[in-house]
Amino acid sequence: MTSSFFGLQTSLRGLLAQQQAIDITGHNIANANTAGYSRQEAVLEATPAYLIPANSANNGSGAQLGSGVDVASIQRIRDQFLDLQYRAQQMSLGDATARTDSLDQAQTAFNEPSDNGIQAQLSRFWDAWSAVANAPEDAGARAALVTGAQTLTTTFRAVSDQLTTVAQQAQDEYDSITGPSGDVGNMASQLAGLNRAIGDAVVRGQQPNDLMDQRDALIDRLSQLAQVSVTDTGDSRLRVDFGGVTLVDPSTPTGYNWPQTLTTPGGKLGALLDLASPSGPALTYRSQLDAVARDLVTSVNALHTSTPFFDPAGTTAATINVVATTATVQTGSTGAAGANDVAQAIAALRGGTTDQLYQGLVAQVGTQTQAAETAQATAQSLSDAVDSRRQSVAGVSLDEEMMNLMRFQRGYQASARTMTTMDDMLDTLVNRTGKVGL
């Protein structure tokens, strides 16, 4: 036999459960725009039934009287498989973005096509030799040639310097991210902290949804930098392998291990290492520019036989240097004032190997930058697509929350009405029964 007040208890459970569900809806709405937040859902469960002796006279069996509802747990709605996909895409996006940025910088260093790039200055250099060939007696034409050649070599050196800087910046960025107070270290220590907090909560039988969201958001960020893989070591504590080494390990005292050397860096860090290396694009371009400078020096000096025009030792873009002066510029193979065969032969180098090497180099820079931009755009849209699917599962829909709000509000109202009905019944029982004869 159940108590007279049994129904009040059932209604109360209903009120409390609906209220909690409304609280959760409020939490979802409040976090509708929080990055990395997964929507939460109250898992409502009927409370254990109460065994009542019903029909026991016939077969001795009882019946189960429902005792109401309870919030069994608060669940985080999230698809771990989509997280894996998202992180894989983030890694290639990090790689492509770092490459595009660096190649863009390298491309800008060349400043082509323009009226001030190496190509335009080479043209002016050949023009100046033609002008000298037309007026070999004229010291003014020779002075203009020497000045023009110096401007050309300065530009070679400037482009070479900028390419070196591009590679150096990639190295600096790598060092800053992986340094003792860099992003990786910070995230690792935060992850270790979250691991401890989550583990402690889980041991106590709680589900720390928001902490898990924070941890997942950190792992998302980490996945841009290098290959990340995650293993649950028990009690929802995660071991995080990063770039081939174990970065976060709940079994160690500090919970993480950094700095260390990545064995298989992918993502942004892998790209940065590649961009900074001598075989990376910036330094490859620089050595190709060296070949252009070397070709210019040797081909001009081979014709300018009296004294070298360019310093024969300066055969890189960084060291190319004009040693000829207005007085030592050689115009002809004889000493005659009007002899111009040498000047003409040098002017005839126009459009030759030097120009072609340089044009080939610029075309290569353009092609590789374009390819990197395309790869970046592809990685971006793939990553966006996975993110959309993830958002579709985990994101907060205000329409849905509004529906839930209405649902739970009505549930609350109805539970309150049940309670009022119970109260009315008890009123009848307590205040109106047994009054016969009074």
Partner 1 sequence: MSMRVTQMMSANVMLRDINDGYDRLTRLQDELSSGTRISQPSDDPYGTSRAMGLRGELSGLTQYQSNVDDGTGWLNTSDTALGQISNVLQRARELLVQGGNDTADQTARNAIADEIDQLTDSVKQEANVQYAGKYVFSGTSTSTSPYQLGTASDRYAGDAGTITRTIGPNVQVPINSDIHQLLGDGQASGDNKLLDTLRDISDNLRGGTTADADALRGTDLQRLDANLDTLNEIRADVGARTNRLALATSRLSGLQDNTTQLLSDTQDADMAQTITQYTTQQVAYNAALRAGANIVQMSLLDFLH
Give contact residues for partner 1 (rule: CB under 8 A). 32-33, 103-104, 107-108, 110, 112-113, 119-120, 122-124, 126-127, 130, 133-137, 332, 334, 336-341, 344, 347-348, 350-351, 355, 358-360, 362-367, 369-370, 373, 384, 387-389, 391-393, 395-400, 402-403, 406
- C-beta of 224 vs 376, nearer to partner 1: 376
Q: How far is the CB of 336 from partner 1 (least distance, A)?
A: 4
> What is the C-alpha separation between 106 and 214, in angstroms, rounded?
37
Cβ–Cβ under 8 Å, residues 121 and 147: no
- C-beta of 354 vs 418, nearer to partner 1: 354
239: which 2 tokens? 């071991």
Cβ–Cβ under 8 Å, residues 310 and 303: no
- C-beta of 63 vs 337, nearer to partner 1: 337
| Residue 259 dihedral angles phi and psi, to the nearest 5° | -85, 150
Q: How far is the CB of 265 from partner 1 (least distance, A)?
A: 26
- C-beta of 136 vs 308, nearer to partner 1: 136
- C-beta of 35 vs 57, nearer to partner 1: 35
Q: How far is the CB of 390 from partner 1 (least distance, A)?
A: 10
Which of 217, 240, 219 lies closest to 229 in space, CA to CA? 240
**Helical ranges in 254-352 per DSSP H:** 267-276, 281-303, 341-347
Q: How far is the CB of 3 from partner 1 (least distance, A)?
A: 40
Q: How far is the CB of 346 from partner 1 (least distance, A)?
A: 11
- C-beta of 46 vs 385, nearer to partner 1: 385
Q: How far is the CB of 389 from partner 1 (least distance, A)?
A: 8
Cβ–Cβ under 8 Å, residues 13 and 68: yes
- C-beta of 161 vs 341, nearer to partner 1: 341
- C-beta of 97 vs 178, nearer to partner 1: 97
* Residue 153 half-sphere exposure toward CB, CA atoms < 13 A: 21
- C-beta of 123 vs 233, nearer to partner 1: 123
Q: How far is the CB of 364 from partner 1 (least distance, A)?
A: 8
What is the 8-class DSSP label of residue 50?
Answer: E
Which of 33, 73, 17, 36 lies closest to 401 in space, CA to CA? 33
Q: How far is the CB of 119 from partner 1 (least distance, A)?
A: 5
41: which 2 tokens? 């859902």
- C-beta of 141 vs 184, nearer to partner 1: 141
> What is the C-alpha separation between 120 and 152, in angstroms, rounded?
9
> What is the C-alpha separation between 407 and 413, in angstroms, rounded?
10
Q: In the structure, how many helices (H) and strands (E) does the chain have?
A: 12, 7
Q: How far is the CB of 85 from partner 1 (least distance, A)?
A: 15
What is the 8-class DSSP label of residue 12?
Answer: H
- Specify whether the backbone of 60 is left (phi greater than 0), alpha (psi in -120 to 50) or beta: left
* Residue 406 half-sphere exposure toward CB, CA atoms < 13 A: 5
Which of 9, 25, 7 lies closest to 408 in space, CA to CA? 25
| Residue 138 dihedral angles phi and psi, to the nearest 5° | -85, 110
415: which 2 tokens? 């539970």
Q: How far is the CB of 380 from partner 1 (least distance, A)?
A: 9
Residue 136 CB contacts under 8 Å (≥ 6 apart), including other chains: 331, 332, 337, 338, 339, 340, 343
Q: How far is the CB of 371 from partner 1 (least distance, A)?
A: 9
- C-beta of 210 vs 387, nearer to partner 1: 387
- Neighbouring-strand partners of residue 45: 70
b or e along 22-51 (b: 16 or more beta carbons within 10 Å of the residue's beta carbon)? bebbebbbebeeeebbbbbbbebeeeeebe
